[in-house]
Amino acid sequence: MPLRLLKYGLSRDYPVSGDIPATPALKPAYDVVIIGGGGHGLSCAHHLAKYHGIKSVAVLEKGYLAGGNTARNTTTIRSNYITPEGIAFYKEGVELFERLSQELDFNVMFSQRGQLTLAHTEATMRSFHMRAEMGKHMGTRTEVVDQKGVEELCPLINMDYGGALEILGGLWHADGGTARHDAVAWGYAAQASRRGVEIHQRTEVQGFEVVGDRVQAVKTNRGRVACGQVLIATGGMNYDVALMAGVELPIRCYPLQAMVTQPLKPWLHTLVSSVSLHTYLVQSSRGEVVIGGGSDPYQLYSTRSTLDMKVHLAEGAVHLFPFLQGVRLLRQWAGITDMTPDYSPIMGASPLANLWLDCGWGTWGFKATPVAGKRMAQTIADGRVPDILKPFALERFETFRLLNEMGATAASH
């Protein structure tokens, strides 16, 4: 009804309510300062305010809300990892996504359509059997399927390419899905600010005031902010921000690229990923085919795209679905990812008593936005790391207790 819309627009009685208030003045101190206004920082803020009654919280975001990797990711949500510690954590993450639209009173368009990862070699099939057994043992829906199973799940896939890249089978993860990334971040931001959390955009942390083993304050482009507790959740900048506090993280930054095609009629009903082709595809609710793959081949702090990588992704996509060859690309982009040596995140304590880490999310952290926020909020509120997070501690590198998720991460995010 255009007329009603016009009336609504001009009416004083129905003012348009913004989801998130404009950035307020900075107070001199907060109980909790969260550095980074991506999904993770906002989720933590929401959980602090809603479940722990901590409302003196400021989220400091150097750019605009959720403009980092939260805005750039390809939204694969899954728990088919290989270590029991990893699966337990990501499983909780998937379960939180199942209830997220209700939790946020905001439709995050969670679509649990399942993820199919393809094997082109016997070695990959063997590793899929291990992941499937591990997944079943941990209570997730993960199973190995043969060639017929792949064809049934994804009838349009090109099975008979032959040679080294013939499809031998797959790993079917019925719990896998996608959600709208902006909705997740904005949903958390809206809920948090409704409960009193302050969100400060264009507020960059440029240094820390450390006295003894505590952070007294953070220094920003808008002034000094004293803090009770501090969380670092700055995505691709985690290494740099932690270093400002004197904490050197085992992180190296690599670009990760992705792209989408023009919208098509719905034809791809699962998430599809190929380990050997380093390519994965998902059709968005708008019909666009989102295509992603492996990281750039060398370290770089840049969100530039390269033709090489885009050609590689297009080749992988056309290989699996030859009819895509005439389809046009609509957009392409990259994010800076903070990669850890074992492809698992670094969560929990830092060498400073009141500085907490939610870092090392690399190419796989969107799916953990709800669970990392929930568990980091619990950590900050209790001043103690819960059992589920303990395996992800920074100390694991010094004790050589790595959580190797490389094989379960590299191609499928």
Ligand X SMILES: Cc1cc2nc3c(=O)[nH]c(=O)nc-3n(C[C@H](O)[C@H](O)[C@H](O)COP(=O)(O)OP(=O)(O)OC[C@H]3O[C@@H](n4cnc5c(N)ncnc54)[C@H](O)[C@@H]3O)c2cc1C
Nearest approach, Cβ of residue 12 and ligand X (Å): 35
Residue 364 interaction partner, one of other proteins, ligand X, none, beta carbon < 5-8 Å per kind:
ligand X
User: Binding residues for other proteins, how many (CB under 8 A)?
Assistant: 24
Residue with tokens 């899905």: 177
DSSP annotation of 160:
T
Nearest approach, Cβ of residue 226 and ligand X (Å): 16
Residue 293 interaction partner, one of ligand X, other proteins, none, beta carbon < 5-8 Å per kind:
none
**Beta carbons within 8 Å of 391's beta carbon, 6+ residues apart:** 83, 85, 344, 401, 403
Handedness of CA 146, 147, 153, 154 (dihedral sign): positive
Instruction: List the x/- string, 300-329, binding to other proteins by CB under 8 A.
Output: xxx-x-xxx---------------------
**CB nearer ligand X, residue 33 or residue 54:** 33
Nearest approach, Cβ of residue 297 and other proteins (Å): 6
Residue 280 tokens, joined: 């994965």
Residue 3 tokens, joined: 């007329």
Residue 243 interaction partner, one of ligand X, other proteins, none, beta carbon < 5-8 Å per kind:
other proteins
Nearest approach, Cβ of residue 324 and other proteins (Å): 23
Nearest approach, Cβ of residue 183 and ligand X (Å): 14
State residue 194 phi and psi, 5-degree precision.
Answer: -60, -30
**CB nearer other proteins, residue 62 or residue 78:** 62
Distance CA 207, CA 317 (A): 44
Residue 60 interaction partner, one of ligand X, other proteins, none, beta carbon < 5-8 Å per kind:
ligand X
Nearest approach, Cβ of residue 240 and other proteins (Å): 7
Residue 241 tokens, joined: 């921000």
15: number of Cβ within 10 Å: 8
DSSP of 36-80: --SHHHHHHHHHHHHHS----EEEE-SSSTT-SHHHH----B---
Residue 345 interaction partner, one of other proteins, ligand X, none, beta carbon < 5-8 Å per kind:
none
Q: Does residue 211 interact with other proteins by CB under 8 A?
A: no
Closest to 165 in 3D by CA, of 278, 282, 296: 278
Closest to 206 in 3D by CA, of 224, 230, 184, 188: 224
Specify whether the backbone of 154 is left (phi greater than 0), alpha (psi in -120 to 50) or beta.
beta
Residue 239 interaction partner, one of ligand X, other proteins, none, beta carbon < 5-8 Å per kind:
other proteins
3-state secondary structure of 157: coil
Q: Out of 31, 95, 151, 240, which residue is the one contacting other proteins (CB under 8 A)?
A: 240
The footprint of ligand X (CB under 6 A) covers 35-41, 60-63, 66-70, 72-76, 204-205, 233-237, 241, 256, 258, 292, 335, 337, 361, 363-367, 413
Closest to 111 in 3D by CA, of 327, 237, 227, 271: 271
**CB nearer ligand X, residue 108 or residue 168:** 108
Binding span for other proteins by CB under 8 A among 60-68, 135-143, 258-266, 295-303? 295-303
Q: Does residue 251 interact with other proteins by CB under 8 A?
A: yes
Q: Out of 19, 105, 248, 382, which residue is the one contacting other proteins (CB under 8 A)?
A: 248
Q: Out of 13, 160, 387, 398, which residue is the one contacting other proteins (CB under 8 A)?
A: 398
Nearest approach, Cβ of residue 383 and other proteins (Å): 25
Distance CA 399, CA 106 (A): 42
Residues 334-393 that bind other proteins (CB under 8 A): 341
Distance CA 375, CA 160 (A): 45
Q: Out of 5, 162, 298, 326, which residue is the one contacting other proteins (CB under 8 A)?
A: 298
Cα first-last separation, the chain: 43
By the criterion CB under 8 A, which residues form the site for other proteins? Answer: 239-240, 243, 248-253, 297-302, 304, 306-308, 341, 397-400
